[in-house]
Structure 1
Amino acid sequence: MGNAESSGQEGDGIRKQQKATPKLYHYVDMYGGGELIPQMKHAKTTGDSSIIDEFIETKLKDFMYNSGKGKLVAVAELVKIRNKERNAMLSALKRKKGKGKSGPNILDEFQQEGENQGDFKKALKLLEGHDRRGKSEWKYREVTWKLEERGLMGENLVGVCLLQGTAVHNQLAMKLIKAYPKLVNDIFISEDYYGLSPLHLAIINEDPAMVLFLLRHGANINQRCYGAFFCPIDQKSSRTDSLEHEYVDLGLKTTYNGQMYFGEYPLSFAACINQSDCYRILIAKHADPNHKDTNGNTVLHLAVIHELPMFEQILKLEADVIWMYGDVSSYAYPLAKLDTINQETGELNEDSALSLIVYGESTKHLQLLDGLLGDLLQVKWESFGRTRLAISFGCYLFFYICTFAAFMCRPFTTSFWAFAAKYLNQTDTFDDDSLSFNKTANAETITNLIAVIKANQTQVEKLGQLLSNDYSCHYWWYFGHGWQQHLRLVAEIAVLLMTIFQIVDDAMDIHSSGRKRWWRMLKSFPAKVAYKISFILILLIIPFRLMCSLTSTMIMLFFDNALSLLAVLLISVHFLFYSRAVKFIGPFVLMIYTILSRDLSRFFLIYAIFLIGFSQSFYIIFMSCNNQRAKYQNVTVSNQTDDILNHPMEAVMRIFIMTIGEFMVFYRKMVVLCDKTMMMYIGKIMFVIYELFVSVMQLNLLIAMMGRTYDLISGTQTEWKRQWAQVILMLEFSMNPKSRLSALLKYSRPIGIDKRERAFVVVRKTTQTALSKKEKCEIYEQRMREKRRALLKRRLKALGTESYTETK
C-alpha cells in the first residue's frame, strides 16, 4: 500500500512537472532565456537574421496546425477546455457545468489541410449564417498554435515574447508574426486569460509602435478578452459557460471593483491604462468606442469607473471644435453616453456616465463632477431643475398646511374625556359623593385621575354621555361644533384628494419606468420614502374612521389617532428632501442619514446585548431582595409597592433610563430594598460594571463614531454636489419622456444635419494647468516651429536685400 501510494504521488509529481514546463518554453521561457533569445541577439548585433529565420521556419512548424496556416475549431470545444480548467481550480461544491448544447461538430467531416482552406472558411460562414458585418456570433474560431503545445496560461510563443516586453522579445515576436501571419490573432486559451491577444498585450506594455505593427498585419481590433484575471472581483465566483457562445455569463450585480477590469476590448484597455497614443491609433483604425462589454460598459463608462484623466481625454477626442479664438475654444460634446436622457425616446439612460457617478457607491469618482458633468448639471438645474423644485416645494407646502390644519383642528379635549370615560367604565367604579374607587388598577393613576376630575367639574357632567358609543365617533362631528370642525372637514378632503393623486402619479411612474428602477431612484432619499409611507397611513385611517361605531371599545379611535400622528411625523420629515438642494444644509442632512443608518444601527446592536443582559440580572437581584424583605415582614410579594423592577420589560426600560443619566433613583431603591443582604453587594458590583462598560465606554464610542462620520462628510467638498445632482435627477425622473425631450432641447444643440443626435456646447479657456504633458509639449514644439519659421523669413529677407544692393 505504501509503495503504491508513493508511486502514485511520484507519478502526479512527474505529470505536474511536465505540465509546468511545456516545450515552447525551451525556445522562449518566462525568465528571459530560451534557445531563440541568443540567436535573436546575434541577429540584432550582426544584422544577419538568416540563422534565426531558418530556425523559425523549420523548428516551429510542428507546434502549429497545418504548418502555421491554422485550422477552425468549434467554440464549444474551446469553452469545454475553459470550463474544465475552472472546475479544476474550484472545490467539488462550487463546480459548474457548461449550459446549452454544442450540437454536432461538422468540422470532423472535413479535411482542413490544403490550398482551399480560405474557400472552406467562406463556405462555412455562409452555412452558419454568419453576418458579413460580424453582428452574429460565429461558432468557430481559427486557431494556429496547437492546443496541446501551449504554455501554462494557454499562450503561444508570440504571447510569451510579449509577456516579457523587452526590445529583443518584441523583435522576435515581429519575426514570428511575419513568418506566420495567423499568429497575430491567436489568443490565449485558459480560464484566467481567455481571449487575450497580442494586441491586448502590446497595449498593456504601453508600446504604440507594436500596436501599429499588429494592426498593419491584420490584428482583430474588436477581439474580446473574457479571462477571469480581467473580471471584476465580485463576479469571479458567478462565472459560468454556455456551449452556444464564446463569452462568459456573469452575475448581474457588481461594484466593478478590480484593478484589472479593463472592459474586454483593446480600445477599452487603452483607455483604462491611460494610453492616449494607443487610443488614438485604435480610433484611427476605426475602433468603435460604443462597443459594450459583458457588463454593458463602453469606453466612457470604464473611464468613469477607473476615475482616470483619460475620461477628459476621451471627451476631448469625441468633441467637435466649433470655433477657436486665442486661448478660448467652443466644444460640442455628444450627449449619447454622457446624459441621463435618451436623445430619441426621452427615457432615462441608466448606463450614462452621469448616472454612474451620481448613484455610485464610491466617493472617488465625485471629482469628475467638477468639469464637464458639473456644467451639464448646472444647465439641467437652470433649464428645469430650479423651476420644478420650486413647484414641487409649493405643492408640498400646501399639502403640509392642509395636513397640519386637519390634525390641529381635531377635538382633542373630547378625545381625552372619551378615553378617560372608557377607562373609568371598564376598570373602576366611581362614586360621585365620596370620590372613592374600587381599586383594580394602579393607585397612583386613580389618584391623578381624581385630581383631574376635581379640576374639571364641568366635564364630569358629560361622563355619562361619553360612555355611550356616540362619542367613539366624535371625529364625524363636522357641523354644530364650531368653525374649527368646518376647517377640518375641508382640510381632510383636500388631504385625501391630494394623497390619491400622488399615489396614482407614483403608480404611473412605476408602470412607465419599472419597479426596480423606481425603487433604485427612491431609496437614495429616505425622507421621500417616509413621505410615500405617509400616503398609505392616510388611506388606512379611512376604514378605522368608518368602523368607529362597530365596537364598544375605543380601539378604532386609538388607531385613528395613532395613524394620524405617524402620518404627520412622516410628512414633516419630507422637508429634509428639499434641504438637500441647499448648499449649506445638504451635507448635514446626509450626516443625519449616515449616522442613523450606520453609526446608530451598529451601536444599538451592541447596546441591546448589554441592555438585555444587565436588565435581567438586575431584575433577578431586585426580585431576590423583594422576596427576602417580604419574608421578614410576613407579607406577600404582590403587596410590595416600592419595587421599581416588578416586570422584566420594566427592568429593560429602567436600565435604559439609567443609561442616559437617571441612575440615582435606581441606586437608592436598590440600596434600600437590599439593605443588609448579600444581594446588595452583588448589585453594587453589577452597577459599577454597567456604568463603566455601557454608560461610559459605549456612549463615548458612539460619540466618536458620529464625530468621525461628521469629519468624513464635511471634509468631502464634492459630496454636496452629489446630493444636489441626485435631487436634479429625481426631478428628471418625475417628468414624462416628452417633457424630458423638451428640456433636452433647451440645453443642447444638434450635431450636423441629424437633429436627433444632440451635443452639449461649452466655451472654455485653455490654461496651462488644464493641459496634459503631451499637449504642453505639442504647444511648445509649435511655438518653436513658428519662431524658427519667423527667423528663417527674416534671414531670407535679409539675404534678398543684400543681393539687391549688390546688383545695384
Structure 2
Amino acid sequence: MSRERGEMRMYNLVDEHGTGILMPWVRYGVKTNDFSLLNEFFDSMVKHFMYNDGNGKYIPISELVMIRNKQRNAILSALRRKKGHGKSGPNILEDFDQSTQAKGDFSKALKLLDGFVNSNRNIKYRLVVWDLNEKGNMGENLLNLCLLHNTVEHNTLAIKLVQHFPKMINDIFISEEYYGLSPVHQAIVNEDIQMLYFLLKHKADVHQRCYGSFFCADDQKDTRSDSLEHEWVDVQPNTRYTGRMYWGEFPLSFAACTRQPDCIRLLCAFKADPNVRDTNGNTVLHMCVIHSLPDMFRLVHSLGGKLQITNEQKLTPLGLAAKLAKKDMFDVIINIEKLTLWSCRDTVCTAYPLRGIDTIDEITGQLNQSSVLSLVVYGDKSDHLDFLDNLLDDLLQKKWEAFGMRKLIHSIIGYTIYLIAFFIAFLIRTPRAPYEPFYYSNGTYSDQNSTMHFFTSDYFGINEHLYQDERCYLWSYSDTPGSYLQRIRLICELIAVISSLIQFGHEAREIIHSSHKRWWLTTKTFPGKIIHKTSFLIILLMVPIRFACSLSEWAVVVENVLGIVAALTTSMHCLFFFRAVKFIGPFILMVYKIIADDIVRFLLIYSVFLLCFSQAFFVIFKSCERDSGPDFENVFSSPGEGLLRMFIMSVGEFTAIYKNLQSCQSVIGIQGKIVFLIYELLVTVMLLNLLIAMMTRTYERIAETQKEWKRQWAQVILMLERSVPPGERLRIMIEYSRPLKVDKTQRALVVRQKKDKTTPISIKKRNHQKKKPLHRLLTLNSLNLNMLRRASAFSESDNSAMEMSKSIA
C-alpha cells in the first residue's frame, strides 16, 4: 500500500477523479446499449489485475492482517506501535495449484480442513480476486472505486464488472481505515437500493464485517491491535461507543444506523441475521440504541431481533439504553416488553418484566450489577434522573416498603448504640491510673470484684508485665469505691471492638461473594460510609498497639492519635442516613461534590501561590532580622512556619505580619510591602472569590435538579439491599412482583398509571428525530467525497509516514 502513485496501474483504468481508459467505452455502451467493446477491454486489460483471470485465490488471513498491521504502525508513532500477536499456523495452500482446482469443491474442502463449521466464521483463508499488489491507495479494487464515485456511468461499470467477474463481488478494502468494507456496505452508504438488490442477487455476502478504524468507536481507536489467529481487530471492551461513524460492522447495522428501512427489509429477505454480534458484542438493536433510532429499533425487532442478547459489557439493549441515558430508547423497549392487563377509561394496568430491570436475580436472588436500576441509580449523567419516574419509581417504592425502611431503622439503631459506646469509651478515660487497685501475688491479682476477675486474671502471663508499667494505665479498669466509670469504659470498648470485628467480617464476606470491583463501585458513591468503614479498621489496629504499651512510650501516643482519627471518622456515617431525607439529601451531595471537585482544584492552584510567596517572605524576613537586630520578631523563622503564616494571611489575619514589616529596618522592607500587597490581591481577593464562585456553581447545578434527592434515596435503598441475604431477597422480590404469564420464574411488576404517562417519546424528542435525516444525508454524501480525497492524498502521506518510521527505527 506504500507504492508510488505512478506504480498504481489500476488508476489508469479509473482514477480518483472519475476518468480513465474505461470511462469512454462505458459512455459508448450506455448510449448504444452495446458493451461488447467494454467486455473485450475486460478480457484484454482488467483480468490481468486479478488472480487466476478473475477466479480468485485463497490467501491466509494472517497475511491480510499483517498488511493492515503494517499500515497502522506506519501511521502511529514509534511508542504506540503494536505488533500482531498470536500464531498464524501452517499454510495448507502452499502445495496447491489454485488455478487448476474446481473452486466449489476446493472451497468446501478448505472449510473442512480449516475447521469451519456451521455458523463459526473464524475462517483462516479468504478468497481474494483482485491482486493485492494492484490495489489502490486505500486497499480498494476497481469495483470499490466505481461505487465510491457513485455516478450512473460508474455504477454501470460496476454492474458490468460483477457480471463479467462474479467472484469479485465479495472483494473488500485491505487497509487500516476501511478494512472489510465491501460493495454491499458501499451500496448501503450510497443509499442505492437497486445496486444493493443487484449485489444480493449475485450472491454478495450479507454478513461481511467492516473492521476499519474509520468505522470504529472513537474511544477505541487507540486500543486497536491485531492477532494472526483471526481477522477481526482486538479492542478495549470498556467503551462509551462514541463517534458518529461507529455503525456496527455488518451491512444490516449500516442500514439501520443510516435509517434505511427498505434496505433492512431487503437484507433480511436475503437471510441477513439481525442477531449477529460485532467486535463489541453489539447487535443491530444495540446499534439502534447507541444512535437513538426508535423507528429502526421497532422494525428490526419485528424482523426477528432479540432483546435478550448481551454485548461484551453484559448489557442487553435495555441495559445499554440505561447506561447511555437514552430515555427515549428505554421507553421504546419497555413498551415492547410490557403486557397490558386491563384498561379502564384513562387508567391502564400494565405488567413490566423485571428481568434485566430489577437488581435482584429472579432465580438465585443474587444482585445484578448490570441491571437497569443499578445503572441508572449509579449513573454519572444528569439525564439518568429522567429514568426515576413511573416504572423505576414504583419499583424503588416497593423495595422501600418491603425492606428499605426496616433495614434503615435497624441500621440507625445499631449505629446509635455503637456511636454512644464509642464516645463514652473515650470520654471517661483517665489520663493516668488514680491508684494501684491490684496487688500481684503468686501469678494472680487480688481483687474483690468477681466481675473484673476474668479480665484481670493472668491467663496469658501478661498481667504482671502490664500492670507494673505505668505506661499501660489504659489496661486498668478498676474504680474508686462508689464509681463505675472504668467498668463502663471496659464494656463500651468491648462493644466498639466486637462491632468493628463483625462489620469488618461482613465487608470481607461481601467482597468475596461479589468481586472487589463491584463492591467498590457501590461503596464509592457513599464517601461518608467509606470513612466510617475506615474507623473500624482503625479501632482494630488500636488493640495490638495497646498490647505494645510497655514496649515504648510512643505506643500510647500512637493509640491516642488513632483514637482521635477514629472519633472524627465515626461521626461521618450520619451523612449516609441523611441522604435518604428529601430536604437534606441533595445538600449532602453538594458537600461531596464541592470537596471532590472544587476544593481539590482550588488547592492545586492555591498551593502554587502558597509555596512561592512563603519562600519569598522567608527571605525578606531573614534580611529584616539580620538588619534590625535581636529586637525584631521574625514570624517566618522556618519554611514550615512560613507556609502556616501564609495560610493564616489568606483567611484575613494579616495585621501582625504587616506590623513586623513596618518595624523592619532593612531596605528590603519596602519590597516586602509590595510583595504583601500582591499576595493580598492575588490570593485573598482573587483566589478565594474564585473558590466561592466555583462552589456556587456546583450548588446551583445540583439545586436545579429536582430529582436529585430521589437518586440519593435510591442509592441508600440499593446499599441496604446488599445487606439482605440472597434467599430473603428472592422472597421479597416474589412478594412485590407477580408471575409473568405461565412461567413463574419470570417475574413482573404491576403498575397502574394514567394513559398520558405512557407516551414513549416526548414532542421534543420527536422534533429532534425529524431533524436527523438532513444530517444523515450530509454525512453519507460527504463520506464518499472524503474517501476519494483520501485516495488522492494517501500516497504522499503514506510515503512520508513510512520514511519517518524507517528513520525512527
Q: How far 1:538 moved relative to its partner?
A: 1.9
1:237 corresponding residue in structure 2: 222
Output the CA distance in 2 between the equivalents of 1:23 and 1:482.
Answer: 105
2:234 corresponding residue in structure 1: 249
3-state DSSP of counterpart to 2:99? coil
Output the CA distance in 2 between the equivalents of 1:648 and 1:123.
Answer: 82
Output the CA distance in 1 between the equivalents of 2:36 and 2:718.
Answer: 67
1:504 corresponding residue in structure 2: 505
Output the CA distance in 2 between the equivalents of 1:211 and 1:343.
Answer: 45
Output the CA distance in 2 between the equivalents of 1:29 and 1:187.
Answer: 18
1:598 corresponding residue in structure 2: 597
Aligned residue pairs: how many?
700
1:474-502 Cα deviation digits (max 9, x unpaired): 67457967455555444443333332222
Letter matched to residue 118 of structure 1:
G
Structure with higher Rg: it is 1
3-state DSSP of counterpart to 1:72? strand
Output the CA distance in 2 between the equivalents of 1:151 and 1:725.
Answer: 57
Letter matched to residue 624 of structure 1:
S
Output the CA distance in 2 between the equivalents of 1:211 and 1:597.
Answer: 54
Work out the percentage of aligned pairs sharing the same amino acid. Answer: 46
CA contact (8 A) 1:332 1:761 kept: yes
3-state DSSP of counterpart to 2:127? strand
Q: Is 1:17 matched with 2:33? A: no
Q: How far 1:691 moved relative to its partner?
A: 0.7
3-state DSSP of counterpart to 1:73? strand
Q: How far 1:101 moved relative to its partner?
A: 2.0
1:710 corresponding residue in structure 2: 699
Instruction: Assess, with a 3 A threshold, how the Cα gap between structure 1 residues 532 and 696 changes in structure 2: closer, same or farther.
Output: same
2:652 corresponding residue in structure 1: 661
CA contact (8 A) 1:403 1:568 kept: no
CA contact (8 A) 1:750 1:757 kept: yes
Letter matched to residue 127 of structure 1:
L
Output the CA distance in 2 between the equivalents of 1:550 and 1:157.
Answer: 86
Instruction: Assess, with a 3 A threshold, how the Cα gap between structure 1 residues 16 and 200 changes in structure 2: closer, same or farther.
Output: same
CA contact (8 A) 2:433 2:473 kept: yes
3-state DSSP of counterpart to 1:653? helix
Choose from 652, 671, 687 the match for 2:676. Answer: 687
2:785 corresponding residue in structure 1: none
Output the CA distance in 2 between the equivalents of 1:730 and 1:282.
Answer: 47
Letter matched to residue 596 of structure 1:
I
1:670 corresponding residue in structure 2: 661
Output the CA distance in 2 between the equivalents of 1:239 and 1:259.
Answer: 18
Q: How far 1:183 moved relative to its partner?
A: 3.7
Output the CA distance in 2 between the equivalents of 1:291 and 1:650.
Answer: 68
CA contact (8 A) 2:114 2:123 kept: yes
3-state DSSP of counterpart to 2:211? coil
1:701 corresponding residue in structure 2: 690
Q: How far 1:755 moved relative to its partner?
A: 5.8
3-state DSSP of counterpart to 1:141? strand
Letter matched to residue 392 of structure 2:
L
Q: How far 1:545 moved relative to its partner?
A: 3.4
2:620 corresponding residue in structure 1: 621
1:370 corresponding residue in structure 2: 386
CA contact (8 A) 2:421 2:495 kept: no
Q: Is 1:85 matched with 2:84? A: no
Instruction: Assess, with a 3 A threshold, how the Cα gap between structure 1 residues 505 and 682 changes in structure 2: closer, same or farther.
Output: same
Instruction: Assess, with a 3 A threshold, how the Cα gap between structure 1 residues 659 and 497 changes in structure 2: closer, same or farther.
Output: same
CA contact (8 A) 2:173 2:182 kept: yes
Q: How far 1:50 moved relative to its partner?
A: 6.5
1:519 corresponding residue in structure 2: 520
2:638 corresponding residue in structure 1: 647
CA contact (8 A) 2:477 2:487 kept: no
After superposition, the CA RMSD in angstroms is: 4.3
Instruction: Assess, with a 3 A threshold, how the Cα gap between structure 1 residues 770 and 61 changes in structure 2: closer, same or farther.
Output: farther
1:347-368 Cα deviation digits (max 9, x unpaired): 555556666666565x3xx536
Q: Is 1:261 matched with 2:246? A: yes
Instruction: Assess, with a 3 A threshold, how the Cα gap between structure 1 residues 665 and 529 changes in structure 2: closer, same or farther.
Output: same
Deviates more, 1:193-202 or 1:754-763: 754-763
Q: How does 1:280-319 map to 2 (within 5 A)?
A: 291-299=276-284, 301-306=286-291, 312=328, 316=332, 319=336
3-state DSSP of counterpart to 1:574? helix
Instruction: Assess, with a 3 A threshold, how the Cα gap between structure 1 residues 105 and 502 changes in structure 2: closer, same or farther.
Output: same
Q: How does 1:140-539 map to 2 (within 5 A)?
A: 140-165=125-150, 169=154, 173-206=158-191, 214-275=199-260, 278-279=263-264, 291-299=276-284, 301-306=286-291, 312=328, 316=332, 319=336, 322=339, 363=381, 367=383, 370=386, 375-385=390-400, 387-410=402-425, 412=427, 415=430, 469=470, 472-473=473-474, 476-477=477-478, 482=483, 487-539=488-540
Q: How far 1:93 moved relative to its partner?
A: 4.0
3-state DSSP of counterpart to 1:245? coil
1:346-401 Cα deviation digits (max 9, x unpaired): 5555556666666565x3xx536636x85453343134355444344324322331
Output the CA distance in 2 between the equivalents of 1:383 and 1:542.
Answer: 43
Letter matched to residue 604 of structure 1:
L
Output the CA distance in 2 between the equivalents of 1:348 and 1:719.
Answer: 24
Letter matched to residue 649 of structure 2:
M
3-state DSSP of counterpart to 2:528? helix
1:540 corresponding residue in structure 2: 541
Letter matched to residue 225 of structure 1:
C
3-state DSSP of counterpart to 2:58? strand
Q: How does 1:630-645 map to 2 (within 5 A)?
A: 630=629, 642-645=633-636
1:609 corresponding residue in structure 2: 608
1:463 corresponding residue in structure 2: none
1:448 corresponding residue in structure 2: none
Q: How does 1:20-169 map to 2 (within 5 A)?
A: 22-34=8-20, 60-114=46-100, 116-134=102-120, 137-165=122-150, 169=154
3-state DSSP of counterpart to 2:413? helix
CA contact (8 A) 1:509 1:518 kept: yes
TM-score (norm 1): 0.74
Instruction: Assess, with a 3 A threshold, how the Cα gap between structure 1 residues 224 and 700 changes in structure 2: closer, same or farther.
Output: same
3-state DSSP of counterpart to 1:408? helix
Output the CA distance in 2 between the equivalents of 1:702 and 1:539.
Answer: 38
Q: Which has the higher contact order (CA 8 A, sep 6+)?
A: 2
Output the CA distance in 1 between the equivalents of 2:189 and 2:87.
Answer: 36
CA contact (8 A) 2:49 2:130 kept: yes
1:279-302 Cα deviation digits (max 9, x unpaired): 565566665555443334445555
Letter matched to residue 686 of structure 1:
V
Letter matched to residue 701 of structure 1:
L
CA contact (8 A) 2:472 2:549 kept: no
Output the CA distance in 1 between the equivalents of 2:266 and 2:352.
Answer: 21
Output the CA distance in 2 between the equivalents of 1:514 and 1:331.
Answer: 36
Output the CA distance in 2 between the equivalents of 1:201 and 1:99.
Answer: 31
1:562 corresponding residue in structure 2: 561
Q: How far 1:668 moved relative to its partner?
A: 1.9
CA contact (8 A) 2:472 2:550 kept: no
1:35-84 Cα deviation digits (max 9, x unpaired): 66666667667777676677667754333334444332211111111112
Q: How far 1:407 moved relative to its partner?
A: 3.5
Output the CA distance in 2 between the equivalents of 1:206 and 1:480.
Answer: 97
CA contact (8 A) 1:28 1:34 kept: yes
3-state DSSP of counterpart to 2:629? helix
Output the CA distance in 1 between the equivalents of 2:172 and 2:156.
Answer: 19
**Structure 1: unaligned runs, 5 residues or longer:** 1-11, 420-465, 634-639, 778-808
Output the CA distance in 2 between the equivalents of 1:42 and 1:479.
Answer: 119
CA contact (8 A) 2:478 2:486 kept: yes
1:116-164 Cα deviation digits (max 9, x unpaired): 2111211222222222132x62211222333223222222333334434
Q: How far 1:714 moved relative to its partner?
A: 3.9
CA contact (8 A) 1:230 1:261 kept: yes
Q: How far 1:753 moved relative to its partner?
A: 6.2
Q: How far 1:663 moved relative to its partner?
A: 1.0
